[in-house]
Amino acid sequence: MLSRLIFWPWFAGLVTLVGGLFAARKSFPAAAGLEKVIVLGPIFFSVPLAVFGAEHFSNTRSISQIVPAWMPAHMFWTYFVGLALICAGVSIALRIRAHISAMLLGIMFICFVLTIHIPNVAANPNNRILWAVALRDLAFAGGAFALAATVMTPLRIAARVLVAVPLLFFAAEHFLHPEFAPGVPLAKVTPDWVPIRAFWGYLTGTALLISGATVLVDSRRARLVATLLGSLITLLVLFLYLPIFLAAAQPALLEGINYVADTLLFAGIVLLAAAIMPGGASQPGVSRDEERAPTSRAQ
């Protein structure tokens, strides 16, 4: 039987996935070609939020240790962030005031970068993992701001930069360390059962480089390139990280689910960035009422 550490995050993720797919039941068939992948962006973004939010409740004591030492009430902040992640995931998946939730979520990720990751990087500047985690959360903030940018146009430039810069950094990491699992370049090495392991690192690095550059300069090809990158990362979730989780022994299951959710969230932010690039229909993940809402409602 799965422990509560595994059951509740998976349960929260699956419920959010079902809700998100139901909410997209009309917009997905209406989209053409690769635009269908962009429609899935908010769903890929919201499901991991629910997973991580549930983990804050099922693995509270361990996660509370991440809270900066100078902050009081570590357990309170762990529960608070967990609830915030779940609420944001549900809001974005069901398209209920998604732009407001995304804006608040982006601010929260920026707070994580400022209070947790920058101090960690400053204390250990030669640790590539700490740099990757800091830039990963910066990219998550960019994805959230991209979703909020539907009704808050000035956020679009910030969202592009916050997503593009981590993509370029991750591209360099993939070229320097192709042996590590592709996607977000953390500490996991690509398993031996994966054929031509280094190839996937170089391929992902190339895709990250091209996408990061086109998004940063706001190229007319950025929408297509980012959509292709989001599709590639989604395939990595399905055919690399999900099998790693399913084959993991009990002690490694929690790490496995975190890699699945982390990489799916990364795919979501790339697709959300693609959605604000010129050349497509209205941005997915936001209801028609929200699209018609005046900018002042989100301020």
| pLDDT attached to residue 297 | 32
**Rounded to whole angstroms, what are the CA distances from 261 to 2, 153, 241?**
18, 29, 9
| pLDDT attached to residue 281 | 54
Q: Helix H segments across 27-127?
A: 27-30, 35-39, 41-58, 60-64, 74-94, 98-112, 118-123
Nearest to 266 by CA among 149, 200, 155, 181: 181
Low-confidence ranges of the chain (pLDDT < 50): 1, 282, 287-299
For 47, the token pair is 């499901």
Please write the tens of the pLDDT for every residue from 155-174.
899 999 999 999 999 999 99
CA distance 253 to 10: 11
| pLDDT attached to residue 201 | 97
Task: Centre a 10 Å sphere on the Cβ of residue 255 and count the other Cβ atoms it contains.
Answer: 14
Nearest to 228 by CA among 262, 198, 204, 195: 204
Q: What does the chain come to in residues?
A: 299
CA distance 208 to 197: 17
Which uninterrupted H or E stretch holds 170?
A: helix 155-176
For 57, the token pair is 């409740």
Task: Centre a 10 Å sphere on the Cβ of residue 237 and count the other Cβ atoms it contains.
Answer: 22
3-state secondary structure (DSSP) of residue 1: coil
| pLDDT attached to residue 291 | 42
Q: Please report, in angstroms and rounded to a whole number, the separation of the first and last CA atoms in the chain.
A: 47
The helix-helix angle for 128-148 and 98-112 (nearest 10°) equals: 160
| pLDDT attached to residue 294 | 35
**Rounded to whole angstroms, what are the CA distances from 294 to 36, 91, 100, 219, 290?**
27, 19, 13, 28, 8
CA distance 178 to 197: 8
| pLDDT attached to residue 89 | 98
Q: DSSP of 127-145, one letter per residue?
A: -HHHHHHHHHHHHHHHHHH
**Rounded to whole angstroms, what are the CA distances from 169 to 47, 136, 175, 269?**
25, 10, 10, 16
| pLDDT attached to residue 299 | 29
| pLDDT attached to residue 252 | 84
**Rounded to whole angstroms, what are the CA distances from 248 to 205, 239, 244, 255, 259?**
26, 14, 6, 9, 12
Please write the tens of the pLDDT for every residue from 43-96.
999 999 999 999 999 999 999 999 999 999 999 999 999 999 999 999 999 999
| pLDDT attached to residue 152 | 67
